[in-house]
């Protein structure tokens, strides 16, 4: 087996064994060692987008803006660009991900006295590295589908997106939740992410019948979706009181906790039972348990 084939096999093994972000750095290290490159950068982003995930080895040597400024031929296909310099020669590859609105740019820097690998070898190895990286990310996202199918605790239906809603990967359950009946492939979320959830802390929002939770993941966003639960129909204050009742607190202790009258708690309790169409505290305890479990999965 040729050493190039061994490298490619190693890249796919790494995609299975490593977490997707760890894989990216380790893959660049393997490619640098194979080709004799002094440094490498791998930028994955949505088309016409300056966000995305930038990974570098062995250290930060280039910015996303510099990679965005590279002038590839305008046919939007896979392209290789050689950039001669005084002390080094750089080779950049532009690679559109199949079936998505996501593209990768990979830059390899070579010492000026180093003989460059053939264009064919670079395109072959880097193309497989990128596809293996997409595989690693899909595994990371779909892991919760597998856990759910086995009846085990999981985080919920998930997708990895950028701030513009470009889909880098999504679970089958997430795809099913967003399905509009057309069966068309999804390259982008059919809705915009609220500005309020795009900070470091992420956040939650509701889109139609779905409840979404966003967690920052580097320069990307991990998005979890779940279907509505009965307690979601309550107002924020009613949800607080319902949780307290479900946890066994008395009306008097709840009144003290929130600084309100016992009669006010009693009125809230009446509305809670009416909205949920239940009559026993045991039923409320079960609904609170369901909501807590959903929160743990999504969290």
What ranges do the domains of the chain cover? 3-139, 152-226, 230-298
Do the Cβ atoms of 125 and 95 come closer than 8 Å?
Answer: no
Residues 56-93: pLDDT tens digits?
Answer: 999 888 999 999 999 888 766 788 888 887 789 999 99
CATH 1.10.10.10 is right for the domain spanning 230-298: yes
Q: In the sheet where 39-46 sits, what is the strand order?
A: 53-57, 39-46, 102-111, 88-96, 79-84
**What pLDDT was estimated at residue 293?**
59
Say which CATH class 3-139 falls into.
alpha beta
pLDDT confidence band for 175 (50 / 70 / 90) = confident
CA distance 28 to 10: 12
When computed from its CA atoms, the radius of gyration of the chain, rounded to whole angstroms, is 25
**What pLDDT was estimated at residue 294?**
55
Residues 199-218: pLDDT tens digits?
Answer: 998 998 888 878 888 999 98
Work out the angle at residue 174's Cα, subtended by the Cα atoms of residues 95 and 238, and round it to the nearest 5 degrees. 135
CA distance 91 to 227: 47
**What pLDDT was estimated at residue 126?**
96
Taking each helix axis from N to C end, the angle separating 236-246 and 281-298, rounded to the nearest 10 degrees, works out to 110
Residues 276-298: pLDDT tens digits?
Answer: 787 888 888 887 776 665 554 44
This prediction has a pTM of 0.76
**What pLDDT was estimated at residue 207?**
86
pLDDT confidence band for 167 (50 / 70 / 90) = very high
**What pLDDT was estimated at residue 154?**
58
CA distance 271 to 277: 10
**What pLDDT was estimated at residue 297?**
47
């Amino acid at each position: 087996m040729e050493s190039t084939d061994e490298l490619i096999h190693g890249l796919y093994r790494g995609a299975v064994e490593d977490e997707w972000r760890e894989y990216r750095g380790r893959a660049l290290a393997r490619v640098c060692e194979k080709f004799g490159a002094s440094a490498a950068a791998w930028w994955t982003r949505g088309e016409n987008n300056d966000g995305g995930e930038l990974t570098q080895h062995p250290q930060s040597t280039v910015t996303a803006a510099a990679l965005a400024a590279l002038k590839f031929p305008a046919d939007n296909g896979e392209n290789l660009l050689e950039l001669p310099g005084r002390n080094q020669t750089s080779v950049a590859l532009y690679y559109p991900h199949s079936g998505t609105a996501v593209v990768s740019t990979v830059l390899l820097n070579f010492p000026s006295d180093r003989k460059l690998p053939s264009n064919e070898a670079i395109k072959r190895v880097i193309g497989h590295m990128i596809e293996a990286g997409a595989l690693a990310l899909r595994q990371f996202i779909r892991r919760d589908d597998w856990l759910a199918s086995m009846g085990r605790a999981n985080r919920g239906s998930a997708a990895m997106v950028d701030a513009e809603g470009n889909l880098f990967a999504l679970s089958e359950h997430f795809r099913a939740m967003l399905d509009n009946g057309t069966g068309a492939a999804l390259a982008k979320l059919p809705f915009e992410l609220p500005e309020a959830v795009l900070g470091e802390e992420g956040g939650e929002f509701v889109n139609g019948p779905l409840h979404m939770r966003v967690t920052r993941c580097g320069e990307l966003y991990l998005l979890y979706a779940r279907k509505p639960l009965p307690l979601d129909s309550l107002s924020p204050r009613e949800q607080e009181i319902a949780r307290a009742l479900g946890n066994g607190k008395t009306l008097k202790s709840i009144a003290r906790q929130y600084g309100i009258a016992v009669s006010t708690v009693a009125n809230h309790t009446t509305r809670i039972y009416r909205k949920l169409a239940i009559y026993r505290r045991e039923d409320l305890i079960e609904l609170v348990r369901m909501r807590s479990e959903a929160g743990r999965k999504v969290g």
